[in-house]
Structure formats: structure tokens, C-alpha cells
Structure 1
């Protein structure tokens, strides 16, 4: 039967539309979060190929470790491996292997995380991005599909990205660990990147934010109370809150300034500052004050290839090898390590850059770290927490914060310039995302300045 065109029919139509919209919103809520990619999942076939291809690609670097000095050929290298149902192409493999090594990551553990028996997890967010997001089963690594332009942009700027990380080894920029392409017969090629997750480990994180430093479209409805849905909140959700770091605040302000200035050089915008926090346990609030922990954190922050066991290790900091930990403890027990940490003006602490501090280590038969310590402040380093994923973790007095800069592929093109002028007309007097790279850089730095203490 046809619906009447009169007022009553219009009311019924309106009610139907509202119910449909509400049903769609409820369905969207159900979709947000993490989902195991089991055999019935639409991405099971793709992620199975990813796991198989990544395992073989990493095995190549296990069998052929990257050289200590990277060449131009390493940056241009493309390796294709043929599997039963697909081909996997790996771009600049030695370069990314070198970065993984510099982060204290062994190829075996990287391979294990990427290809373990556990299923990948699909992460569905409220992002406008059309990319697909996957997490390894241990949630340590993100895999994200990218378009060809974004991959080309990353690879063309890979050398200066690596140079930035070498110059500022405590950078907050997301760590790209691999770029790959899957080629399946009669289907479109699929590019994807592997990244270190900023929010790792996430077992006690109670809030996550994606910050761009603006207002327009920067509010997300929080998840219902008691819900297990993971919602990444935005700038307006953060209103009235602060990242309370106390003495580590100057380091964060400076590092954000350094990293966003680098992104300005790349002429990019629309990147995000990820922020998450969790309360510190009582014992965690004081563990950074012990002498032994200060030594461990110093070693973690400046570790280089000076140890013959780890010759060739680049200067980007990673984990302290277990044998080094044992050696350090025995040295301290035997009184062979002498350190003095002098408070500098501005109240630096063991977590901030080592301005005004000296540390003299002279265990028998070892190379001192005096040169690295002298360069510490120049490279804007801080004492890293004795914690997994230390480059993205900053402990304040009461909370542990996870901080990183992601999504660095949006170039300020002619199309973006047109979008900027259109948004100026549509949102007069309001702060929106699409602005010039210098303005974007300054605005995000100002947001960090205004929301930290």
C-alpha cells in the first residue's frame, strides 16, 4: 500500500527516518573498538597474507642483518617474495631493520609479534580516514593500509626522517618499522605500513585523545558508562584538563617544538598528538628516585654501541640488555659507579634533560659515556622510564602519560589550500584543522603549552 502524501504520511516518514538514523548510530557504537579477526571476519584472508608475508620478510633481515652504514641503494631497495596466493613487496627493508635495531628490538621478537598464532585485531575508530587499522595480538604494533601517494611520500622523505631520529633520539614522532605492498591476482594492490603503537601496553589506560589544537569537529561522544567500547576522544573533550608533568614539562614543550618544526619543513599538516593516561601505582610514583633506577634510566637513555656485545648499535635509545643490567647493579654494589645529579635552574629532575648534571662512570675495562652525556641536552634527551615503549612514556607525579605524533602524510597541496579558504568562509572566527603548516605547527605547540603544567 502506498504511503499517503498528506501530513500524517509526512509524520510517519519522519519517524521512520529518525528510527533509521538512531539505529545507524547504535550500530556505529557497536562497531567502535577492537575486534578479533577470526575466520569469519572479512579481513581474515588479508591479515593471514600479511602475517605470512611479514614473517618471510623479517626472516630475510634475520638471515642478512642490515649494514652499520646504510647506502643509497638500501633506501631504494625493493624486494619481492612470492607466496602461494600473493606476492609481498618490501620497501627499504635494511633501513627499517636498522631503525628497529636502534630501538632495542630484535628481529626475532618483531617477527614473533607480527606472525604469532594469535589473530590480529581490527581497530575501528571514529576517524574520518578510509584506512584500515590492525593491531598485532599483543597490541605492540599497528598495521595501517595507506594509499600509493602516502607511501611514496614516506619513502621519498625516509632519509631525513631517519636523520631526525638520529639527531633527536627521543623524538615523539611515530616510529615507522616497515612499508609493504601485497599483490593479489585480479585485485587491487594493497599498501600498508607497520608502526610502533604509542599506546603500548594499554592494559590500564583509561582515556585516549587525538589532539589537533583546534575546535571545529573536535568533539566525540564518550562511550557509555561501563562500556567496553574504545573511543578516541578529541580536543574539546580535553577541555579543562591538564597533562601534569611537573619537572618534565620543559622537555615535552621543547620536543613537541622540535618535532612539529620538522613536520613544517615537510610541508605537512593535519597530524595528531596522541595522548593517553593511566594512574600510577603507589610503588611506581617513587621508583624513579632510587639510585639504582637513576643509573638504569641513564643507561637506557644514552645506550650506544660502546659495549662489545652490542657493537654497531645506533644511538637511538632502546632497552637495556639484561647482561648490562646485571653489570650495572654489581658495579653499584661494588661502589665503582659515581654519579651526582645537580638540580639546575628551572628544577629539572631525573626525567628531564640532563642540563646541569654530570655523571662519571668508570667501571674497569669499559668505555665511559661522557661524550654522550655532554651531547644529552643538545639532543633534547631525557632520562627514559624503566618501562616498555619508553620513548612514548612520560611519568608525571600522579599519572603515566603516553604521547606521540602520528598521521604525518597530509601535504599542504593546492587542494588543501582551497579547503582552507572554504573553511574560513564556513567557520569564521573558529579554529579548524586545515591551516598552513607554519600555523599548524605553532597552534599545536601552543596547545601543549596551555594544557600542561
Structure 2
């Protein structure tokens, strides 16, 4: 692709014909060769659909500012559907729909994603989308924003309906556990193109962001039957997500944050148990910390404490004053901060998870919900139940899903929690019992799934 300078005083380039698709044979060859993360170019079978997605998101966000984050979410916000007719530059006409727009805008604000930043990432004018060709057997399509910060996942209508019916409970869980490991969904859309059935898209944070240094990725369900993925040969750059059998001899070494992690994992799993779902996964990504990242510098610690500890009048906890104050502090004055650091990282492991009555909400959303401006701000954290709800957030992007251990950085998040244990799963369980000759597979009732999921992970956290 040629690049032209703008504003250089030279004559504008001659208009060129729009890019043309390759032959059907060449397109088939390219599709068969797709591995890992690939650019969605004009030959891709989902190219047109993603261009429609781009135009639809742009139209909704740019022309309907009234659907941004609200101070109070009302019943009608959860049920709101905006449908618009959109025409692409090549005159393709389609129907684009945005669901519960203000609710998802509130979630974006709560995790400190500004509306213009979201638009620039998920619907840029020119940058191509990426496809993540995974080894998942779900049949869903996975696409990434060009900066790889957000994941687009297609899903079935009954999954979307289930999520919308429970989105109030989903929000209330974050109100009680702001640092929850459950993935944050930031938008729900659909596209209806001429002659095709409606496609639903969920936009979610990528757990594995930023991914440029990630060494390995795992998808953990707590089951072993059928849960092995052949690793890539040395030197291969294809992204492969490994599974439970690959993780048997591995550990999650997060040092002093172990107790917080287990407490939060239990709370999140109890929430999913209460929804009567199963087949969810803990995604685990790992990368080695550089030597300078292993050292907790005082300015960095101050920034982390400012997000994670209760508000204080002490100037040593003000990130704005850190350069001045810390430069003049004697070593004896630093000990209170390190005491706070130790306190935050030695939360006692408590088997008593707050009862679900505290996080349940009405399915009808009769009461208005004041969703916080930021789930990472200590002024909000001060108002909730206590130290088990907070931790020292790393001073980095995607802080809610990143935990630093003594030697490695871990990317951790729970995904895929829309599967109810119904007749399909009951039939699938009988089939897998015969196929694998055991019951140690992923299709089991929610209670059994939750217990096994927790046990498998906790045994490997140190």
C-alpha cells in the first residue's frame, strides 16, 4: 500500500480504483494458511462484515452522545436497543443495533476507558482488524482491534439473551468486587446484512493485553479429559493457547498476593455458580519480568498505593507530590509506606466469602443503579466492605487483569460464562463419559464444575 504525505504542497495523488478481491482459489489458499493472529484483508470472508461493524459503531458513538455513561442507570437503560440503517462507501446497506448502550458505557467509564479512546480502538477509520485463529471448538469467531486491546467475539442469540437478562447481577458483582477477575464486556452489537442472518458481537477487554512479551497462554477449566494441546515447536511464532493437561506441572507464583487471588477467585466462582453456568475458563498468560521490573521503586509504589489504599492526608501517598516529597525523605520516613505495602499483600485467606445476597440484584432492575466512575479509584474502594476487595494494582495498562509475582507477570481473567447446564450439556456429558471413559471432562453440573475448577487452580497457586 502506498503512503502519501498530506499538506506537503504537492498535488494530491490520482484517485485509484478500490482494491479488488483475489480469485476464489487464491482466497481459499489464504484461508487454509491462516494461523494465529492475521490481518483481515479484502480477501477475508469476514472483511465486509467487519467494515459494516466499523461503520455501525462509528455512527452510534458519534451521533448518539445521549447513550453515553449515565450517573444513574434505570430499568429502560438495560432494555434499550438502538437500530440504525447504515450504508457503507461501497453502497452496502445493513441494519446495525447497539444493546444497553448506556450500561456498557458505564462499564467503560468504570474501568477508565474514555469514549474517544474506545472509538479510536474499536472503530478506527483506516486500520485493519485482526483475526485470532484459535484452537477453540466453540464455533465462534474471534477478532481483535488493531491495537489488540479489545476482542470481538461472535455469539449465539440465546447466549446474548442470557447475558442481558443477568447484566444487573454482573454489574453488582463488580460493585462488590471492583478487582474481580471476570472479564469486562464493553459493548454488545448486532449486524444484519442483506440475505444473511443476524450476527451478534460482544466487545470485551483482551485479557492478554499488551501481548508483545507473552511467552505462553493457557485456558484452564479444571478438567483433564480432552484438554491437551500440542505445543508449538521451538521458533514457531503462531499463537497457541495451551490447556489443562499442559498446565499440570505448572504453577502461578504470585508471592504475597496469593491470598488475595484465591479469595477473589472463590468470590468470582461463587457468583458463576449462582448463575448456574459451567464451561467457563481461567485464562493465564505469563511473561518474565525484567530485572528492573522486579525492583519495587518507591515512586511506583506510591502510585500503586494511591489507587489501592484508603484515602489519607499523608503527602507521601500523593502521586502528584511524589517527586518532591520522596526526594527529601529520609529512609526512616519510608517505613510506614512499606508497612502499608506489607499489609496489603498479606491479607489473611478467609474461606468465608461474603454471602451472595450482597451481590444479587433484581432481574427486572427496578431500582436505579449508581455505577461508580472508576473501579480502580481508592475513593470508591473506601466505601465497600474491606481489604478483601482490593489489592495493589500494577502501574500498567490492563491493571485489573495483571498480577506481578516475584519473577513473572501473570495475565489472569475468567471468560466464557454463558453456558447453562441444560439438555444439550446433559446429552454432551453422557457422550463424553463414553468417549473418555471417565467423568473428568468439562461438561458437568455447575456445582461440580465450580468445585473442581477451584481445586485445580488453587493447588497450583503459590
Of 424, 432, 451, 2:433 maps to 424
Q: Deviations over 1:104-149 (max 9, x none)?
A: 1100000000122210001111110111110000000000111100
Of 223, 233, 237, 2:232 maps to 223
Of 39, 46, 57, 1:36 maps to 39
Q: Which residue of 2 aligns with 1:276?
A: 285
- Tell me the secondary structure at the aligned position of residue 237 of structure 1: helix
Residues 271 and 102 (structure 1), Cα distance of their counterparts in 2 relative to 1, 3 Å cut: same
- Tell me the secondary structure at the aligned position of residue 389 of structure 2: coil
Residue segments in structure 2 that go unaligned for 5+ positions in a row = 1-28, 88-92, 313-317, 350-376
Q: Deviations over 1:298-357 (max 9, x none)?
A: 2233699x9xxxxxxxxxxxxxxxxx843555565688x99835769xx956556599xx
Q: 1:425 Cα deviation (Å)?
A: 4.0
**Structure 1, 128-137 or 220-229: larger mean CA deviation:** 220-229
Q: Which residue of 1 aligns with 2:396?
A: 387
Residue segments in structure 1 that go unaligned for 5+ positions in a row = 1-25, 307-323, 356-367
Q: What does 1:117-156 align with in structure 2 at a 5 Å threshold? A: 117-156=126-165
Q: Which residue of 2 aligns with 1:8?
A: none
Q: Which residue of 2 aligns with 1:340?
A: 336
TM-score by length of 2: 0.79
Q: Which residue of 2 aligns with 1:91?
A: 99
Residues 60 and 407 (structure 1), Cα distance of their counterparts in 2 relative to 1, 3 Å cut: farther
TM-score by length of 1: 0.80
- Tell me the secondary structure at the aligned position of residue 188 of structure 1: coil
Residues 109 and 302 (structure 1), Cα distance of their counterparts in 2 relative to 1, 3 Å cut: farther
Q: 1:429 Cα deviation (Å)?
A: 4.1
Q: Which has the higher contact order (CA 8 A, sep 6+)?
A: 2
Q: Which residue of 1 aligns with 2:320?
A: 326
Q: What does 1:14-25 align with in structure 2 at a 5 Å threshold? A: none
Of 91, 104, 119, 1:111 maps to 119
Q: 1:217 Cα deviation (Å)?
A: 0.7
Residues 370 and 381 (structure 1), Cα distance of their counterparts in 2 relative to 1, 3 Å cut: same
Question: Aligned equivalents of 2:64 and 2:178: distance in 1?
Answer: 23
Residues 41 and 415 (structure 1), Cα distance of their counterparts in 2 relative to 1, 3 Å cut: closer
Q: 1:380 Cα deviation (Å)?
A: 2.1
Q: Deviations over 1:198-239 (max 9, x none)?
A: 000000001000011111111011112211111111011112
Q: 1:293 Cα deviation (Å)?
A: 2.1
Q: Which residue of 1 aligns with 2:299?
A: 292
**Structure 1, 170-179 or 412-421: larger mean CA deviation:** 412-421
Q: Deviations over 1:268-309 (max 9, x none)?
A: 0001110010000111001xx3333222112233699x9xxx
